[in-house]
Chain A
Amino acid sequence: MLNIAVLDSGTASVGHWQDAADRLADVTIVDADAADAVLVAGVDAANQAAESGRHVLLVPGALGSSDEAAGLAAPDGTVVMLAATGRFQPSIREVQAVNSNGSLGPLGLLRIHRWLPGGAPVGIACLADQLDLANWLFGTLPSEVYAVRRGEAGGYAHVHLGFPGDGMALVDVATTLPEGDDYYSLSLIGGDGSVYADDHHNMHLLYGGGQPEAVRGGESVSGLVNLLTEFASAVAEGRAADPGLSAAVEALKVAEAAEKSIEAGAPLRLNETGDGYELG
């Protein structure tokens, strides 16, 4: 049994984490003093928990830079996992399943639309969430990064990636939707096939007078269940969890390259050592 304390729930509510844990026989949500694992945000909280011997599930949104993420500690015997909720959504897992089994052939093109309400500036951490998916699906860092930002409050960012070989990706994140539901769309085109995971396709209709309303057929807490399952399995098996810390560092590096590209108005390229991006 893995006892997890939710110290910071990230973008999901505590209730959602509880609902997810209720579906698992080997995971229980507990108070902090009874926990052998914690869900936290931020490097300090994560390192403090790891040093005290607790396993760590890290909410990625609080990481401000790749340097900060590189400071995350994972002492021997401690599992530190990135709570990359996107990777564990059932629809995205299906995308990766057909990708990783080779059904799509060599990858050509990834397109992601991530639209949110709220109006907050699209920061590095918000971009990194989606760029992590790009890195994961292509299995490597992009070789080129070009980006633009729009909106008075910086509520829109678009990132254009090139991957080694033929691969390419377009990722846009907006926070300019009015209050209400968000929107997500991911499509992946390979040499032998393609896959489309798209909220547009999964809408029901509500007729209440006037034009009908779209009602999204959601994926409930299945993504959190999948995520907790991986975390609990890694702890039980004494292995590293996937995604680990390096995924967070790499996604943030790409997001930082996007920020630099926005400032420069030009693309950045992966340097020869493969650990950073530079203009030219």
Chain B
Amino acid sequence: MSSVENNSVFRCAVVSVVKHAYVPNGVVTHPRFDLVVVCDDADQPDWVHERNQLYADEHGIPYVKGIEQAVADHDVQVAVISSEAERHCDLAVRCAGLGLHVVQDKPMSNRISECDRVVAAVAEHDVRFMMWNRNFLPALVEARRVIDEGGIGKPYAFHVDFYFAKDSGPPKGSRGPDDPPIDWLERQIEAHSDGSDGGVGVDPMGELKIEGIYPLAYIQHLAGSRVERVYARTASHFHQANVDNDVEDLATVTLEMENGVIGTLCIGRIGAASHPDIGEIKLHVLGETGGLVISEARPEVSVYYRNQPPQEFRHRRMAIDLDFQLMEDFAEAIDSGSGGILDAVTSRDIAATVQAAVDSGKSGRVEEVA
């Protein structure tokens, strides 16, 4: 039975929405999820309240400064968290403690200890947790089908290229000798207008922490194996904000996984000049009897016309059913009590892999995944 055939609707609180509105917007693509309130802690800075209020106004729902009060007053069952990264886990733990199921934006956290708190809270309060992910993009669904049907035999190597062809403030080398270093949070707040504020928060984060969950979730989803050892190279190659804050915007990662499986990752925010669209995102998978090459963007349609705005995508993704399928999976997880597509334990393992990669990039050694 489809989850949609179950008539119960989950009332959702948007618990801080200072970053990407695509998470709560994605949640309500499914008919069983309804946004009923936006909430946040009252002691948050003005810019946080302004963004929360704006989202509440756009959706015609109230904004409440007080999470516990909002949950109590609005009969909420699900929390949708899209705050600054360092608040993600604390909000998730508090919401789990209130008995709410949790949908959380990436990254899970910038600290593994925080991820561990979420794993414990979700288990203790018997609620479901889902990190937002892209595992149900059409190309990933196709890749999974081919592998599951034995099209390449037993897979043994997974390679993902995950480039975002976006700029991120002034280019590397542009800071004058008397200029102050770029403040990370200020830069991220500014970047909200063009959607490049994935690293919003006080603590600077490199591309591995900001975006790494997506490609590493692909590998985990397709391989089903846990990463044990990591070797990485990292660099601040493109953007002055990354140089000033000592966080990478380019990385290569070798993953040694359970059962002898190999994974690799190329990831970077490589500048708008590097690709006509969002970036080259591909999967190369080798199996014992074949190989598979997947373009994550497809299916897509090409659109070109006179006076086309330079920021407009020329190649547009089609038939994206991601949001609905994620929420369908989450509804099924709630109904059945199962883990779902990217639960707290798996998300925590991916965060630990990311941390090992960051550490390896600095140490130059192979790092064990904690």
Contact = CB atoms under 8 A, between A and B. Distances in A.
A111 B161 contact: yes
A111 B268 CA distance: 13
Given A109-B252, A146-B366, A194-B275, A185 B284 contact: yes
Contact of B266 (A109, A144, A199, A269): A109
A113 B284 contact: yes
Interface residues of B, number: 42
B286 interface: yes
Contacts of A158: 157, 254, 262, 264
A43 B366 CA distance: 37
A87 B270 CA distance: 25
A236 interface: no
Nearest to A265: B366
Interface in B251-283: 251-252, 254, 256, 260, 262, 264, 266, 268, 270-271, 273-275, 280, 282
Given A174-B157, A266-B365, A196 B172 contact: no
Interface residues of A, number: 40
Contacts of A136: none
B280 A174 contact: no
B161 A187 contact: yes
B365 to A, nearest CB: 7
A267 B293 contact: no
A160 B230 CA distance: 11
A146 B254 contact: yes
B288 interface: yes
A193 interface: yes
B293 A150 contact: no
A185 B292 CA distance: 13
A194 B289 CA distance: 32
B156 interface: yes
A220 B233 CA distance: 36
A219 B281 CA distance: 25
A166 interface: yes
Interface string B321-348: 0000000000000000000000000000
Contacts of A160: 231, 233, 252, 254, 264
A189 B254 contact: no
B259 to A, nearest CB: 11
Contacts of A162: 233, 364
18 contacts: A106-B237, A108-B238, A148-B262, A156-B157, A160-B254, A162-B364, A168-B252, A172-B157, A176-B286, A178-B289, A185-B284, A191-B271, A193-B273, A193-B274, A194-B275, A196-B280, A199-B293, A200-B293
Given A115-B291, A144-B364, A194-B270, 17 more contacts: A106-B237, A109-B266, A109-B268, A144-B233, A150-B262, A158-B254, A166-B236, A168-B252, A170-B264, A172-B159, A172-B264, A176-B286, A176-B288, A183-B293, A189-B250, A189-B274, A194-B275
